[in-house]
Amino acid sequence: MGTYRVCMCFTRKFAIKEAEPPSDVKESFNKYSEGGTHMSAEQLRRFLVEAQGDDKATSSDAEGIVQQILQKRHHLAKFTRHTLTLDDFHHYLFNADLNPPIGSQVHHDMCAPLSHYFIFTGHNSYLTGNQLTSDCSDVPIIKALKRGVKVIELDVWPNSAKNDVNVLHGRFILFVY
């Protein structure tokens, strides 16, 4: 047998797979798209008002955002659809150009010692009621973050199998009189 020299040209480009949207993004998309596969500009406006707290968002603002997202993600000048997919919505939420942080500048001089500043924190933020008998939940944490809390305390304990952790309010307390 002889030896052969082989020359191949590969023209296929492989796309980089993006991370799948987290479950809370999927839930928000399903809620505001009313279970559909696409979110309209009006549904996005409702999301901006209800979930993001942007009471001044208008339909034209939402339409402009949809156009920006579609142009940025799909690089097309004209679109046959004017709605967002789940991936488009996910991209919008985590894109600093399209959805920038509310404020990126520190508005205090921050030259004083740390003890001179008020830091809005949450103690036992995960409790649904009083400290002794209430249950743990993520709902109070979400409410605290929406109110502006910057620090959340969590009590993390190993589970019974010692292979994972649970967020609990300490161990059982026995009071003896």
Domain coordinates in residue numbering, the chain: 23-93, 114-167
Which residues have C-beta within 8 Å of that of residue 132, sequence separation ≥ 6? Answer: 173
* Catalytic residue flag (residue 91): no
* Catalytic residue flag (residue 116): no
Task: Please state the separation of Cα 44 from the chain's center in Å.
Answer: 15
Phi/psi of residue 76, nearest 5 degrees:
-115, 145
Q: What is the pLDDT of residue 41?
A: 94
Name the one residue in this structure whose structure tokens are 């030896």.
3
For the domain covering 23-93, report its CATH number: 1.10.238.10
Number of other CB atoms surrounding residue 33 within 10 Å: 20
* pLDDT exceeds 50 at position 73: yes
What are 112-149's pLDDT values in tens digits? 887 777 666 667 777 788 877 778 788 888 888 887 77
CA distances from 127 to 26, 122, 137, 151, 155 (A): 26, 11, 6, 15, 11
Q: Considering 38, 107, 116, 123, which one is annotated as catalytic?
A: 123
Confidence at 79, pLDDT banded by 50, 70, 90: low
Of residues 171 and 95, which shows the higher confidence score? 95
41-50 helix and 23-32 helix, angle to the nearest 10 degrees: 120
Question: What is the pTM (predicted TM-score) of this model?
Answer: 0.53
Q: Which two tokens stand for residue 31?
A: 């809620």
Name the one residue in this structure whose structure tokens are 């609990």.
168
Distance CA 52, CA 32 (A): 12
Distance CA 139, CA 26 (A): 18
